[in-house]
Every structure is written in structure tokens, then in C-alpha cells.
Structure 1
């Protein structure tokens, strides 16, 4: 389960993985333990099984079963793999009863926080350079953020789901033997909005490292009436959030290859078009 995209200290044994947290101010160990426990009960096999928790250790540590496979970040996902991602998400979003999900803490990253943060980023007028596509993406994106559309995304008319609240494609673990996808790294998980989760996954900046066709993925997911429009809105929001952090002094710039800003500008324009 450890890979070059990991932000955690992990010790990998033959059958188990022990995860030591580098931060826990958002309750990360408890969030992950809670999610893994619920998943083991309601969706066995979708995620690691929890084994032991040491919440009072320094750093806090939890131990879980080790899963086979490789992460999909950095890969060009095949049609079979995309279908398997959709199947994993559908199982996750349907299997846990709504009453159980409603009792969970909200995820620390969700619609209201994202709208506020990304509007703030745009309002700071970050230095994104003078490229024509970049300027146009910033202008159109700022106009969309100033409209009422992002506010309409905040109220969720659909039942909440348990979500990762992290669209990093390194959280998608492909098993070549069983031909299935499992989901890992639940430290930011909690009660959330399914449309937001889908927007976060399809537009997370990790998509730059490889290919996971968003339209093909969403085509495999049975969306409720009106939900597709909300997913489209969240895709715009998340893509804009990454784009606005890619200037010379942007927080996301050091972690991404040259040309990412221009590629994100094209993506934003496509989504707003």
C-alpha cells in the first residue's frame, strides 16, 4: 500500500500495514478507523480491514490488513479499470444505510468549505502568467464563481454518503488477479455529498499524471435526477481550485510538471464551455 504518492509513514508486513500519522488535528486516525470499521461491516472487501488502533500513541497508529495491487495514479486506466472504479464507488455509496451515514462526522473537505476556499483563491488574483488560455480561464472561472451557481451546490437534496473526501488517484488500488478496485487512505473520510465526491475524483490534479477518462467513468454510474448537473458543477469547482494554485508561487506548482497550468486552463475552459 505504500507508494511514491504516500503522505504517511507506513510499515508493511506480510499480512498487515501499520500507518503512523504525520498529522491528526482533524481526527485523521479516528476517521480512518471509523470508516474501515463501517466498510468491513457493510462492504467487506472494498477497503482494508481494521486490525488494531493506538489512538493515544505518538504518533497515533492504526494497523489494517494488507491488500494486493497497485495504485492507478500515474497509469493510463483501461476501460476495464474504469468500470471497476465505478463499481467500487457504487458499492460504497449504496451499501451503508443512510441512517448510519447521517450519524458520522462531516468530512473536513466538502461543498461549503470548497466554495468558500476557491472563491477566496480567485479573489486574491493569483499571478498565473499571461498566457491567453490562462487569462481566459481565470476570467471565465471568476465570473462563474461570482454567480449564484456555486451557492446552489452547497445544499444537497440527495442522501449523504461515506466518502474519502480526497480524489487522489493514488487511493484507487487495482488488483490484477481479481480484476477489481479497492479504496485506500480514509483519514479524511466522513459524511459527504456523492456529487462532490465524483467531482473531486474526476478533477483531482492527480489526473495529470495519467489518464482516467471522466466521461467514461461517470457513464458507468447511475446518477439520480438532477445529480449529473451537480457533478458538473463540482467538477468546475474542483478544477478551478487546482488551477488557481498553479501560478509561480502557487501551492500546487512545486508538485506538478511544467505545463500543468496550461493543461488545467484548457480543462477549466472545457468544463465551463
Structure 2
């Protein structure tokens, strides 16, 4: 098949393989993808594609993996069976890689500190163009962030886990029995609360067929520190998504009309 474009990289698919070719400027994403595939194959075989080969030093870094069967959860009715299977897959990602190995893995892209820097920049560049409930929610979110102290808090009270790095339900494939996971370009060391918040607050978890958040979270025995962090991460990610959806609507809409306004209401609810 001819390669198609996903983000900045090209993908080719055969009957049994997927070949990702990254531009040189995204070499780090290729490294993350290969590291995740090899770690999960070693510690959670069958959860993710099998790593076949990689050339990470090429002009276009390449990662070759097995092709998984299954239907993306995004756009599907998320019944209890699928929700339970999603939770089992996420739990396996978080628990399979031994803690001593996780400590040596670099922090994943787009973690808390990086998102806060990004949001503050958007507050200067994107917020002035916003109006109505979107502007109201941006102002409330930025005010919460300024007083929350989230940017100076550490994750010392929450254990590090291996994080997939992307909450998009399109990356979770249902084969009728289990959920398997693809796309690890932003994977790395993270914590459970942040990773769960990223799935829950991702637009794919609510814009079409809403994820039953209570049923999903019921699979995770969070500590008090993780529970507090989950709430704050959900607020931050809801704010991130408000900016993303506002920019999306102004350039190349990929979601239904009014999604940014719906997200604004979601954020205001999170801040109560």
C-alpha cells in the first residue's frame, strides 16, 4: 500500500506488518515508539504490536512492527465489556514494566510541566481571540492554574509508571475479546493519575460515545495522593483541550460544530 500521513510520519501497512517512517526532526518519537514496543513485548507480550526491527539512525528513522487486528474504541459504543477491557489494558501498561526499569525511562513528552508552559503561552496567543463561554472558561482555567501551584508540585507521593503517552481511544483496539494498544510515540515515564486523566479528558472519550468514567475508574485503586492528582490533572487537561479545540475550529475542524463550547462547559464543571 502507498504510505499515508499520520501527523509528521508516514505509515505503510502490509497484511501482517506496520512500517512507520519518521522525519529526522521526530527521531525522538521513533526512539520512544521502539523503546515502548520492546519493553511491552518483554513484560506484557500481546498487549502491543510485536517489534520487528528499527533503524533509528537513518535519515528517516524507521520502526517496523506487527499489525494488530481489532477495531478502534474511538467511535464505538463503549459498553461495559469494552470499558472493562480498556481498563485491563491500561492497568497492564502501568504495572507490567518493573519499577527499576521505569526509573531509567525518560519522562514522557507532554507531561505536567510541559503542558503548563504550553497553556500559559496559549493564554497569551490564543485567548485574546476567544469569545463567549470559551473565553469565560479559559479565564477561569488560567486563574485556577495561577493559584493551584500545580507547576511547583512534585510527583514524589505518586509512584512512577510506564505511560503510553496518548489518551486517544483510536489507539485502543478491540478484537472482541481484549483491548490492545498502538502508538507509543510520546510514551515514557509518567504516573497513573496523569495517564488516566489523559484518557478521560481526551476528546475521543466524550464527543461521540461517552466513556463511563465511573465504571472505568472503578478498576483502579487510587491512593489519596493519586486521587488528588487525578482531579488536578483532569482540570489541566480539560484546559489544554479547550485551547486545542478552539484552534482546531479555527483551522481544520475535525470535530462536530460546537465541540469547543461543549469543552468550555466541561472545564467549568471541572473547576467547581
TM-score normalised by structure 1 residue count: 0.88
Closer, same or farther in 2 for the Cα pair 1:89/1:247, shift >3 Å?
A: closer
CA distance in 2, matches of 1:255, 1:228: 32
In the alignment, is the contact (CA less than 8 A) between 2:5 and 2:11 conserved in 1?
no
Closer, same or farther in 2 for the Cα pair 1:113/1:37, shift >3 Å?
A: same
Corresponding residue for residue 35 of structure 2: 34
Q: Which moved more, 1:215-224 or 1:153-162?
A: 153-162
C-alpha deviation, 1:210, in angstroms? 3.2
C-alpha deviation, 1:168, in angstroms? 1.4
In the alignment, is the contact (CA less than 8 A) between 1:137 and 1:268 conserved in 2?
yes
Output aligned runs, 1:186-197, within 5 Å: 186-197=184-195
Output aligned runs, 1:29-178, within 5 Å: 29-124=30-125, 126-127=127-128, 129-131=130-132, 133-151=133-151, 153-176=153-176
CA distance in 1, matches of 2:106, 2:160: 11
C-alpha deviation, 1:37, in angstroms? 0.6
C-alpha deviation, 1:202, in angstroms? 0.9
C-alpha deviation, 1:249, in angstroms? 7.8
TM-score normalised by structure 2 residue count: 0.89
Corresponding residue for residue 185 of structure 1: 183
Closer, same or farther in 2 for the Cα pair 1:155/1:253, shift >3 Å?
A: farther
Corresponding residue for residue 199 of structure 1: 197
CA distance in 2, matches of 1:28, 1:238: 21
Corresponding residue for residue 254 of structure 1: 253
In the alignment, is the contact (CA less than 8 A) between 1:9 and 1:21 conserved in 2?
yes
Closer, same or farther in 2 for the Cα pair 1:235/1:268, shift >3 Å?
A: same
Q: Report the RMSD for the aligned CA atoms in angstroms.
A: 2.5
Aligned-partner SS, 1:62: strand
Any idea what the Cα deviations from partners look like across 1:212-265, whole Å, max 9, x if unmatched? 222321122121232112111101101101112344687776333210111101
CA distance in 1, matches of 2:54, 2:9: 16
Closer, same or farther in 2 for the Cα pair 1:92/1:123, shift >3 Å?
A: same
- Mind listing any 5+ residue stretches in structure 1 that lack a counterpart? none
Corresponding residue for residue 232 of structure 2: 233
Closer, same or farther in 2 for the Cα pair 1:12/1:245, shift >3 Å?
A: closer
Corresponding residue for residue 14 of structure 1: 15
Counterpart check, 1:244 vs 2:243? yes
Closer, same or farther in 2 for the Cα pair 1:214/1:128, shift >3 Å?
A: farther
Q: Which moved more, 1:59-68 or 1:11-20?
A: 11-20
Aligned-partner SS, 2:257: coil
In the alignment, is the contact (CA less than 8 A) between 2:238 and 2:267 conserved in 1?
yes
C-alpha deviation, 1:186, in angstroms? 0.8
Closer, same or farther in 2 for the Cα pair 1:8/1:125, shift >3 Å?
A: closer
